[in-house]
Structure 1
Amino acid sequence: MTEELKAAVRERCRQMEIPLVGVADVERWKKPPFLPWMPEEFFPQSIFPEARSVIVIGLPVHLPVLETAPSIYYHELYKTVNTLLDQYTYRLASFLNEIGYPSVFVPRDGYGSIEVLQKNPIAFFSHRHAALLAGLGTFGVNNTILTPEYGPRVRFGSVLTAAPLPPDPMIDRDLCIRCMRCVRMCPAGALDREDYPQGLTDKNACSANSAALNKRHISPCGICIKVCPVGEDRRHYRREEPSLYEPGAEMRRYRQAWNHVRRYGGA
């Protein structure tokens, strides 16, 4: 029955054209894959006591749009993906409720604004850690989840459910190749060369940069996920050589397109 239920969940996701879906048993939060780990109050069963499984979905951030970042183009794409994540996870939770399994969606961010994040730089639930435990990716030096399909160019949403779903295996290899492009090119100097979680992002520097971009209506920054060479999407868009983002790179036709977009739509 549980395998049939999981197949039904995956079919519902397929109908909504969700490319990435993973499942984690809530017990995985009690067995940290690395230390330091989050406090128990952030566990799914602490937020929704009925939770037995967490379903994590991922939607890609299209690379050619991201390449214009920071820009109004990426700003609007970011908002669109966020809206879809909330809608899809809500619909998935509703589907499970209708067939008898108490379920709730978790909003994709969990904070009110960049200004709020500057004062308290943490949300009540981590979709990144849920994606890791659901077998969708591994952490990179840039403090994001890298996936085989899209590298770090993915946004995640989660459903906490009482359904006893079989968990997916976690990825047992490290996807980050330690090229350090994200560290070198971060405009806020917010990244460290150490692996996650030792090299945690300087959240204050990152948030301050985002707040400045937000005033110009062109947040978020996006640089650390743009320059990452990991992901099959780079091959799809014929962007296998990530050095095209380095200063002085001879990529005139790309730079003309990016500069055109950046001239408009923001303050």
Structure 2
Amino acid sequence: MNSDLKAAVLERCRRMEIPLIGIASTDRWENPPFQPWMPEEFYPQSIFPEARSVIVIGLPVHLPVLETTPSIYYHELYKTVNTLLDQYTYRLASFLNDCGYPSVFVPRDGYGSIEVLQKSPIAFFSHRHAALLAGLGTFGVNNTLITPKYGPRVRFGSVLTAADLPPDPMLSDDLCTRCMLCVRACPAGALDERDYPEGLTDKAACAANSAKLARRHISPCGICINVCPVGEDRRHYASKNPDGADLRRRAREHVQKYGGF
């Protein structure tokens, strides 16, 4: 395995200020950590036959912005993170191609619109599962990948590469606390209390709620990742002001008045 190339990739990510990166070998899709698992057509090597490794990067969703959801503030942050993910993964794939290893980036979303998602709620590649297999987190009841540093407040992007890179170990400890805050807070009633994957999100209900917010220009929802108590970011953003909770509420109410219908 090419340890020197992995070190070069990590340095490239450091220079682009990417805080989360993990690597999974493609054979991990063939030996899944739980069942039911995805069909083979969704494996990275089915999408890019030359793939031997998958590089996954993660960018955080800043908690104070997320706390205003649904809002134009979170809407714009979500778009910004998505754009950066596409740019960074494209640049990483280009770097690997220049090093002589055929590589491609995978866009952060695999669908054209909420309307498309309502009709067919499955993307052609799952970055969340790639991040799980790359050791970046574990699944929670809310069907998102929970990370130690940011909880579920992370967006992921992936690079499929022919380079045989040393994989990172998967996390052994489950990060979800089973507090069920996400289940109770979901405005679409799309979650239940069963563990992943038994308690899969009601994708139709979730997509319908997203479509309603999109018509108001304040999608996505994000409430299930907002209420999750896991993540070092909660301590980072914790207010030392005794009136902090009231100030956050007032800030949220102010932001929600503007920018959408």
TM-score between both structures, scaled by the size of structure 2? 0.98
Distance in 2, matches of 1:60 and 1:205, equals: 25
The residue aligned with 2:18 is: 18
The residue aligned with 2:205 is: 205
Matched, 1:146 2:129: no
The residue aligned with 2:74 is: 74
Report the alpha carbon displacement of residue 251 of structure 1 after superposing the two structures with TM. Answer: 2.9
Distance in 1, matches of 2:109 and 2:178, equals: 27
Distance in 1, matches of 2:4 and 2:99, equals: 13
Identity of paired residues, percent?
80
Matched, 1:254 2:248: yes
The residue aligned with 1:109 is: 109
The residue aligned with 1:126 is: 126
Distance in 1, matches of 2:239 and 2:69, equals: 16
Q: CA RMSD in A?
A: 1.1
Deviations 1:26-85, CA, capped at 9 Å, x for gaps: 000000101000000000000000000000000000000000000000000000000000
SS at match of 2:148: coil
The residue aligned with 2:233 is: 233
Distance in 1, matches of 2:72 and 2:129, equals: 29
Deviations 1:200-227, CA, capped at 9 Å, x for gaps: 0000000000000000000000100000
Distance in 2, matches of 1:42 and 1:153, equals: 24
**Which ranges in structure 1 are unaligned for 5 or more consecutive residues?**
241-249
Distance in 2, matches of 1:146 and 1:42, equals: 22
Q: 1:66 to 1:257 in 2, by over 3 A?
A: same
Distance in 2, matches of 1:225 and 1:256, equals: 21
The residue aligned with 2:258 is: 264
**4+ aligned runs moved over 2 Å, structure 1:** none
Deviations 1:219-243, CA, capped at 9 Å, x for gaps: 0001000000000000000169xxx
Aligned residue pairs, count: 258
The residue aligned with 1:88 is: 88
Give, as a single letter, the amino acid of the residue that structure 1 aligns with 2:34. Answer: F
The residue aligned with 1:190 is: 190
Report the alpha carbon displacement of residue 252 of structure 1 after superposing the two structures with TM. Answer: 1.8
SS at match of 1:78: helix
Report the alpha carbon displacement of residue 253 of structure 1 after superposing the two structures with TM. Answer: 1.4
Distance in 2, matches of 1:11 and 1:153, equals: 24
Distance in 2, matches of 1:192 and 1:100, equals: 47
Give, as a single letter, the amino acid of the residue that structure 2 aligns with 1:31. Answer: N
The residue aligned with 1:157 is: 157
The residue aligned with 1:33 is: 33
TM-score between both structures, scaled by the size of structure 1? 0.95
